[in-house]
Amino acid sequence: MNYCLNHFGNGEISITKKGNLKIGKIGMQRKGGDNGRKSAQMLQFKLYPADLFENE
């Protein structure tokens, strides 16, 4: 678990051109869509588990 947290959490904090937040290798964005329903204001967190195996 520590390996995963260190892998995904270590890195720069930045804002992409589209306004998404990147914390290390974790992306965060507003969900959007849903025809204006309240669920469109939720956040999505994106990470790619396959990245864990590329570093071994």
Q: What is the pLDDT of residues 19-34, one digit of tens each?
A: 899 988 899 988 777 7
- pLDDT score of 56: 56
d(CA 6, CA 44): 20
**Residue 55 predicted with pLDDT over 60:** no
Tell me the whole-structure pTM to 2 decimals: 0.66
- Phi, then psi, of 5 in degrees rounded to 5: -65, -40
- Closest C-alpha among 48, 46, 12, 54 to residue 27: 46
